């Protein structure tokens, strides 16, 4: 908004970065990020991160901590050697998630047997329910090879190499029978 010379609304939170010439000149403020694609598509854990100053904490089934001044490419997880910093960042992340929890009061659901049967007949209740905590589901770090094989199989399909695509998706499903994207893609190829 500052770049467009527009006033910010009083309800907006945040600080314009226009007054800083370099990233290193910015004050140490919290920067939140999340990756929920793996949770939403594959039922793997969501990844949530908080960066404050030189520190970046990633909340995952196997949490990670990086000192970005010494390790800007995030190659060495230093969580065990810096457990106090990780605990502080985890607590800050938890406060942030609590403060901005979008769920509010959940709507009252019609859980009658008739409604449930109707929803099941339409295919709406055939999948698994997924929650938000990062601890739910496998750590995406542990599924990189599976994801790469899934993507390679899709590439083979788009390149009209159907046999390779089907073989790859079958290997993905042999590793993880619950991989719904792979099962859907395989069903579409048959």
**Which mean pLDDT values do the consecutive 10-residue runs of the chain (190 residues) have?**
86 71 58 91 93 95 96 96 95 87 59 69 53 68 95 96 96 94 92
Task: Report the alpha-carbon distance of residue 32 to residue 59 in Å, rounded.
Answer: 11
- Tokens 């001044």 appear where? 69
Q: Tell me the helix, strand and coil percentages in the chain, rounded to 5.
A: 45, 10, 45
Which SS3 state, helix, strand or coil, does residue 59 take?
strand
Whether this prediction's pTM lies above 0.75 is answered by: no
- Residues 73-119 pLDDT 10s: 999 999 999 999 999 999 999 998 888 766 655 555 666 777 767 66
Task: Report the alpha-carbon distance of residue 23 to residue 20 in Å, rounded.
Answer: 7
- Residues 160-169 pLDDT 10s: 999 999 999 9
Task: Report the alpha-carbon distance of residue 130 to residue 40 in Å, rounded.
Answer: 8
Structural contact between residues 134 and 45, judged by C-beta atoms closer than 8 angstroms: yes
Structural contact between residues 30 and 96, judged by C-beta atoms closer than 8 angstroms: yes
Task: Report the alpha-carbon distance of residue 77 to residue 128 in Å, rounded.
Answer: 32
């Amino acid at each position: 908004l500052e770049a467009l010379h527009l006033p910010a609304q009083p309800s907006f939170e945040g600080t314009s970065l226009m007054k800083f010439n370099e990233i290193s000149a910015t004050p140490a403020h919290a920067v939140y990020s999340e990756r929920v694609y793996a949770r939403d598509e594959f039922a793997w854990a969501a990844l949530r991160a908080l960066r404050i100053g030189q520190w970046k904490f990633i909340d995952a089934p196997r949490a990670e901590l990086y000192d970005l001044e010494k390790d800007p490419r995030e190659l060495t997880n230093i969580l065990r050697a810096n457990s106090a910093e990780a605990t502080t960042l985890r607590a800050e992340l938890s406060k942030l998630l609590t403060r901005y929890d979008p769920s509010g009061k959940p709507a009252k659901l019609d859980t009658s047997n008739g409604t449930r049967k109707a929803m099941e007949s339409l295919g709406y209740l055939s999948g698994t329910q997924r929650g938000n905590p990062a601890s739910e589901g496998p750590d995406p770090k542990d599924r990189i090879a599976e994801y790469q094989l899934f993507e390679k199989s899709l590439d083979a399909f788009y390149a009209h190499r159907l046999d390779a695509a089907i073989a790859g998706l079958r290997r993905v499903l042999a590793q993880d029978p619950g991989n719904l994207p792979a099962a859907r893609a395989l069903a579409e190829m048959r």
